[in-house]
Structure 1
Amino acid sequence: MTNYLISFPSEAMMLSEAELSEVVETSHAVVRDMRDAGVLVFAGGIDESTPPVRVAADAAVTPGTYPQTVGFNGGFTVIDVPNREEAVEWAARVAAACRCDQELRAFGEDALD
């Protein structure tokens, strides 16, 4: 089995207030289906009200983030499925529920396996 990341940036969801509640309901239904199918590892979004920090090896905390990740936001789902085809099927369901394209990426092998 391979873990896949399904994600999108916040800006991709071009929704009115009226559409938002329906999208929340349909996207949560897809996540429940993932859980029921036994493929869900994690689902959630970045809390954009909490600013990011960088943490060094000595535990020093620096406000902010790497310049190239300033736009890192949105929703993220990790699934564990046997192949890319199944991952694409789940990503398509998320895209339909969220009304925006999803990015699909495979994780590398787990170092502990």
Structure 2
Amino acid sequence: MAKYLISFPSGAMAVPDEDMQAVSDAAHAVVDEAKEAGVWVFGGGIDESVPPVLVDGDGAVTEGTYPQTKQLEGGYTVLEVPSREAALEWAAKIAVACRCAQEVRAFGYDPAS
């Protein structure tokens, strides 16, 4: 089984206010389905009201993020599925629920874990 990150930037989800409850309900239904299927690892949205910080190895904390990172926001789901094809199928379900395309990335395999 491999882990996949399925995500979208918050700006991609342009949903009218009157449709937000339906989108929320649809997204929660996909989450429930993933949990029932045993593939759910983690999911949620970045709290964009909390600014990021960088923490160095000596514990020094710096406001902001890496200079090459413009922004990191939106919604994220991590699933553990048997194949890339399965990850793409779940991404399509999330895309329907959230009404926007989803980016899919594979986590690197770590033989020590």
Shared fold (TM-score, shorter chain, > 0.5): yes
Q: TM-score, normalised by structure 2?
A: 0.96
Q: What is the aligned partner in structure 1 of residue 19 from structure 2?
A: 19
In the TM superposition, what are the counterparts of 1:1-113 in structure 2 within 5 Å? Answer: 1-113=1-113
Task: Provide the rounded CA distance (Å) in 1 between the counterparts of 2:78 and 2:27.
Answer: 14
3-state DSSP of counterpart to 1:68: coil
Q: Percent identity?
A: 58
Deviation per CA, 1:55-102: give whole Å up to 9, x if none: 000111000111232321000000000101111110000000000000
Unaligned runs of 5+ in 1: none
Q: TM-score, normalised by structure 1?
A: 0.96
Letter paired with 2:54: R
Residues 50/92 of structure 1: CA separation in 2 closer, same or farther (3 Å cut) = same
CA RMSD across the alignment: 1.0
Letter paired with 1:54: L
3-state DSSP of counterpart to 1:59: coil
Residues 112/72 of structure 1: CA separation in 2 closer, same or farther (3 Å cut) = same
Task: Provide the rounded CA distance (Å) in 2 between the counterparts of 1:61 and 1:111.
Answer: 32
Task: Provide the rounded CA distance (Å) in 1 between the counterparts of 2:21 and 2:71.
Answer: 24
Unaligned runs of 5+ in 2: none
Task: Provide the rounded CA distance (Å) in 2 between the counterparts of 1:25 and 1:67.
Answer: 37
